[in-house]
Amino acid sequence: MLSVWMLASALAHRIPHQVSDRSGTPILPGAAISPSVSSVFYHACVDCHSEKTSWPWYSNLAPVSWFVEADVGRARSLFNLSRWDGLDAAQQRTLLTAIATVIENHEMPPHRYVMLHPEATLSQNEAVEVIEWTRVERNRLRASPAVLGTK
């Protein structure tokens, strides 16, 4: 019975996940980011907040696939690590503040995601490191000649 359900689910989700033209680009293009902070984003954020999503096997089985795709779509619409360079400095600063806030409030990564992906859990040190990076990057953007209008 389970195999019949899995086959029917796979047939109901016949459209493969789209591969983005940005799937090969680095995350946060244009940002000044250390390898250690980048590593945190890679293990905790890229699956939902970028176009480098590693789709798990169950993302091809309806109805679970519908929830996974909706979650990823919503996450990307709020913050997309792959499209950072398409934002102006004010938008980037706003998102940097939001990143720090959701990490400080333990809202990201979401608990339901961490239950299935325990590797996405942030250690206290990782959380502090990312929050500190957001502060430094906001300051860098404020001091940027492009922001000051002196290109």
pLDDT, averaged in runs of 10, over the chain (151 residues): 55 58 82 97 95 89 89 94 96 97 96 92 98 98 70 42
Quick count: other Cβ atoms within 10 Å of Cβ 50?
Answer: 25
What is the distance, to the nearest Å, from the Cα of residue 69 to the centroid of all Cα atoms in its chain? 13
Residues 141, 41: contact at Cβ < 8 Å?
A: no
Rg, C-alpha atoms of the chain: 18
**Rounded alpha-carbon distances, angstroms, from residue 13 to 37, 53, 66:** 35, 17, 9
Taking the whole predicted model, whether its pTM rises above 0.85 is answered as no
